[in-house]
Amino acid sequence: MNDTASNIASPNSAPLAASVDVKAMFDRIASRYDAANRVMSMGIDVLWRRQALATFAELPDDAIFLDLGAGTLDGTAAIATSRPRARVCAADFAGEMLRAGSPKVSDTHARVALHQADGHVLPYRDGVFDGVFSAFCVRNLVRLDVALAELARVTRPGARVAVLEFFRPVKPRWFFDGIYNRHILPLIGWAITGDRAAYQYLPESIGRFDSTHDFETRLRVAGFTDVSTKNLFPGAIASLITATRGNPE
Ligand SMILES: C[S@@+](CC[C@H](N)C(=O)[O-])C[C@H]1O[C@@H](n2cnc3c(N)ncnc32)[C@H](O)[C@@H]1O
């Protein structure tokens, strides 16, 4: 695949985007999302978030962060508690997810703002953020290049970005994709949330999303530099992609 925006396979055209109302789906499962998440990930997502947040170590103590697709605020709460002078804007278009997670930031609420907002049109001024964290959201963005351009707009030159995601595997992973994700995970999700479709969407959305290489390319095209990928334990199921906002020309 060539490194140009026009040559990156766009997930925007895939039929799933039209058939799944992602916002309604997350609003529907919001109250049971954390319970399902903890069982399915066996708590490993907590370690992944910690690794992602460690990449912000060089940012100033009073940095301003965006948590994009903040959901039930695990990332937002982790940033706000680990960095006592930081401010965090948690943006998510599913208001019920933010509401379900709001008790997690009750101690730090003075430095946390919850915004029901779409990642394609963020309600922030240009260049306000020093750091952007996004966990398991970008796979859902139906116009990904538009959303990454928006991310570039709201970050200052030198800002750090850390994206956790399940990217499309380059080589087939028979157990994780063929058995766990396809069969076991929808059953667990169904048992805990009563919503089987939401957990069938997860493997489908991974299968149609970018590989890490595709996503790295998109970030560079959007104006980010120092783009790099770390595959996370166990078995490179999830990846952490980090980048720095370049200087606009
Ligand atoms: C899998 S959840 C992850 C939530 C949280 N970041 C976490 O790590 O648990 C994905 C979140 O992205 C949000 N999301 C998806 N598409 C979005 C969009 N276009 N704009 C804003 N939020 C979006 C969903 O509402 C959902 O809360």
Q: Could you read off the pLDDT tens digit of each residue along the chain, which spans 249 residues?
A: 233 323 223 333 333 444 579 999 999 999 999 999 888 888 899 999 999 999 999 999 999 999 999 999 999 999 999 999 999 999 999 999 999 999 999 999 889 999 999 999 999 999 999 999 999 999 999 999 999 999 999 999 999 999 999 999 887 777 777 787 778 888 888 888 888 888 888 888 998 999 999 999 999 999 999 999 999 977 668 999 999 999 976
- Please check whether residue 52 is in contact with residue 228, taking contact to mean a CB–CB distance below 8 angstroms: no
How high is the pLDDT of residue 202?
86
Ligand 1 pocket, mutate which of 47, 92, 205 (most atoms under 8 A from CB): 92
Please name the residue whose Cα sits nearest to atom 8 of ligand 1: 135
How high is the pLDDT of residue 11?
36
Ligand 1 atom nearest the C-alpha of 142 is 19
Residue 157's contacts (CB-CB under 8 Å, 6 or more residues apart) are 127, 245, 246, 247, 248
Helix (H) or strand (E) holding 36, with range, is helix 22-41
- Its pTM stands at 0.90
Q: Ligand 1 centre from 77 Cα, in Å? A: 15
How high is the pLDDT of residue 128?
98
- Please check whether residue 50 is in contact with residue 78, taking contact to mean a CB–CB distance below 8 angstroms: yes
Q: Ligand 1 centre from 199 Cα, in Å? A: 14
- Please check whether residue 32 is in contact with residue 192, taking contact to mean a CB–CB distance below 8 angstroms: yes
Rg (alpha carbons) of the chain, rounded to whole number: 17
Ligand 1 atom nearest the C-alpha of 45 is 8
How high is the pLDDT of residue 19?
58
In this structure, the residues whose C-beta lies within 6 A of any atom of ligand 1 are 22, 26, 69-72, 74-75, 92-94, 97, 118-120, 135-137, 140-141
- Please check whether residue 98 is in contact with residue 116, taking contact to mean a CB–CB distance below 8 angstroms: yes
